[in-house]
Amino acid sequence: MIKKSLIAIALVAFLAGTVQADNPYIKKDWKNVPIAWPYEYKALEICIIPVYMNLGMYVQIENCQDRKIELIQVDCGDIGKTDAEFPCYTDCDTFKIRANFEVKLGANLTKIGPVLTDTKVYFKDMMGNDDDTVGPTTDYVEHQICMDAWKAEIWKQEANMAEKVGTIAITVKPNVI
């Protein structure tokens, strides 16, 4: 009798856990389940992919077209020359430069006409120190390009207040040892 009672209780418990197949509250498609509150699906990161880019090297001089050097006559001792190397001239121009790598500055002087003979072109930082390296930097930094000339043959050309006697091309390359 006890066995039959236990079997009967087990069957009742089993039937209580089941529902009818035609119950209107049960849907087979989960997207159609009625929800009484707002919900939101969460995005899950399942794969992280690194992104690389071939940036290349970048150098820029701000307003390069506005740069110029106007050599003015100075005492030869001011540029480290003797009076025997008279006449002597010098000038510097300040420019702004930026680069995404460490740059070694250089200069190519092209002489125009017979006036320039002995010359020196060099770079300085804004503290006045000889410095021909820049960067890397995200903002422009100020630098100077300077030119000294001595033993200038000024008698080989007519007097003119703004005579073009040369051009300087600033060159750049990676600063590697």
**CATH value of 59-174 in 1.10.10, 3.40.630, 3.90.25, 2.60.40:** 2.60.40
The edge-to-edge listing of strands for the beta sheet with 166-174 is: 133-134, 103-111, 166-174
H helices present in 42-90, as ranges: none
The residue extents of the domains of the chain are: 59-174
d(C-alpha 25, C-alpha 20), whole Å:
10
Percent of the chain topping pLDDT 90: 49
pLDDT tens-digit series, residues 94-124:
999 999 999 999 999 999 999 999 999 999 9
Quote the pTM value. Answer: 0.68
Residue predicted with more confidence, 1 or 106: 106
